[in-house]
Amino acid sequence: MPQTAASSIDQITLDRICEAHARLLDGQPGGQLARLNGQSLAGLSMVARNLRDADLRDCIMSGCDLEGADLRGARLAGARLNDGRLVRCRLEGADLRGCDFSGADLSASHCEGADFRELARSGSEHSAASSQPTCLDGASLSGSVLDNARLAGVSARGAKFDETSLAGTRFNRADLEGANFAGALMTATGFGSANLSDADLRGTMAADADLSMATTKGMRTGPLPDPPDLPDLPADTDHRTPQQRIDDHIKRVRTSGKDGSPARLDGLDLRTVEPLAAAPLTALQAVRANFSGLDMRGAELQGARLVGADLRRCDLREADLRGADLSGADLSHADLRGACLDPLTLGGGRELAANLSKARLRFADLRACDLSRAKTDGIDTSHARS
């Protein structure tokens, strides 16, 4: 909390400060760093403002509208953002120690590497030093990216972390009672000594998280209710490892079928295979396979059958997906910038359209990706960037 009474500024003054800060970042004359520490900005609007590296420490920002604001590297330690709107905010590397985000909406925000840990307050001659924990109670971070963020010791009771990306995120000692992590992506996610009582971890790969000494009374795991209608998988009688199958498939593509053999990867967990960037994987068969988090930039996946595949958080920039069948696939948080989803030209003047029917592209990056010639019946592109 602020150490002294905050002085208030109005919207016109705030706009001028934001504009001067933007000029500074652009290297234009008249630029000046936004130093708003300790000010009261309650209820004001900073929608889509560029406030990178701004000083907002101990600001009172209750009920502020910061939708789409760029706060990368900003100093917000001790700020009060309760009930604020921070949808699609950019908070990468921001100092958020000791902030009050209770009831705030941070849906689809980018918080990679942000610091949400407690804030140490130095004492005076009459008071001892203290610490101020970050509060996310009742906040919504649905669909946000929290990779490598530090949330040790936060209070996030009843907070929404559903469909978030949590690779390398640390929640050690956090109070997460009743929090919703349904469908979150967990890779090396740390919950050591955290309180996960009555938390919802359904639809996650909780085995990829560190739950050592965590309180898990009433915690829910297992599949999500109402799973998508996906095709049944045939029995897998291939004794080769997933990597061997992929290597043989690549060999077959490169030799035009003279060597190697086609890969059937239906239902397999492929997250430990070598990076597939620029890999020639034409006509790959991988129904309901798990590719989540893989680097597949520039991969050649023309005509691939990826029905119901888990491609969440995959890097598919510039990938060739002409004629690929991605019906029912989950591409949430995937990076599809520049990916080609045009029809695949076949012999005799025929074309095979890319199929994205009922695919999930929630929170995906679709910039420079043209879906106009693909089948998109029932597609979900909520909060996608385009």
Determine the Cα–Cα distance for residues 25 and 22; give it in Å rounded to an integer: 5
CB 280 within 8 A of CB 262: no
In the numeric block, which tokens belong to residue 22? 């933007």
186 by DSSP, 3-state: which?
Answer: strand
24 — phi, psi (to 5°)?
-60, -45
| Average pLDDT value over all residues in the chain | 94
Domain residues of the chain, as ranges? 1-120, 158-224, 241-386
Cβ atoms of residues 298 and 318 within 8 Å: yes
Q: Is the pLDDT of residue 82 over 90?
A: yes
Query: If DSSP codes are grouped into helix, strand and coil, which group holds residue 123?
Result: coil
**Rounded distance, CA 136 to CA 93, Å?**
18
Report in angstroms the alpha-carbon separations of 64 from 69, 101, 115, 267.
Answer: 11, 11, 21, 46
Is the pLDDT at 128 greater than 80? The verdict is no
- φ, ψ (nearest 5 deg) of residue 273: -75, 165
pLDDT band at 348 (very low <50, low <70, confident <90, very high): confident
Cα–Cα distance for residue pair 28/20, rounded to 1 Å: 9
Q: How many CB atoms lie within 10 A of CB 26?
A: 9
Read off φ and ψ for residue 99, nearest 5 degrees: -75, 155
pLDDT at 124: 56
Q: What's the rounded mean pLDDT across residues 99-124?
A: 93
Q: Check if the beta carbon of residue 375 is closer than 8 Å to that of residue 344.
A: no
CA 90/CA 141 separation, integer angstroms:
13
Q: Residues 299, 319: contact at Cβ < 8 Å?
A: yes
The pTM assigned to this predicted structure is 0.90
pLDDT in tens, 166-183: 999 999 999 999 999 999
DSSP 204: S
Q: Comparing 158-224 with 241-386, is the CATH topology the same?
A: yes
Measured at the CA of 104, the angle between CA 363 and CA 214, to 5 degrees, comes to 80
> What's the pLDDT at 123?
62
- Structure token pair of residue 62: 């209750």
Q: Which CATH class is domain 1-120?
A: mainly beta
Confidence check: pLDDT of 364 > 50: yes
Give rounded-to-5 percent helix, strand, coil for the chain. Answer: 10, 20, 70
Rounded Cα distance between 100 and 280, Å, is 49
Least confident of 133-137, 231-235, 326-330: 231-235
Q: Which fold has domain 158-224?
A: Pectate Lyase C-like (2.160.20)
Share of the chain above pLDDT 70, in %: 97
- Residue 241's CB is within 10 A of a number of other CB atoms, namely 12
Q: How far is the C-alpha of 360 from the C-alpha of 383, rounded, in Å?
A: 11
Q: Which pair of tokens denotes residue 302?
A: 């023309």
**Residue 125 binned pLDDT confidence (cut-offs 50, 70, 90):** low
The residue behind tokens 């029917």 is 357
Residue 101's nearest CA partner among 85, 114, 90 is 85
Q: What is the CATH number of domain 241-386?
A: 2.160.20
Cα–Cα distance between 324 and 33 in angstroms, integer?
Answer: 49
C-alpha count within 13 angstroms, C-beta hemisphere, residue 116: 27
Question: Is the predicted pLDDT of residue 226 greater than 80, yes or no?
Answer: no
* CB atoms near residue 368 (< 10 Å): 12
Q: Using CA atoms, how far apart are residues 135 and 143, in angstroms rounded to an integer? A: 19
pLDDT at position 3 is: 47
pLDDT value at residue 126: 57
Percent of the residues in the chain that have a pLDDT greater than 90, as a whole number: 89
Query: Mean pLDDT across the stretch 28-52?
Result: 97
Note the helical H segments in 184-241: none
Tokens read off for 79:
């700020």
Q: Tell me the pLDDT tens digit for each residue of 276-334.
A: 999 999 999 999 999 999 999 999 999 999 999 999 999 999 999 999 999 999 999 99
For residue 243, which phi and psi values (nearest 5 degrees)? -65, -40
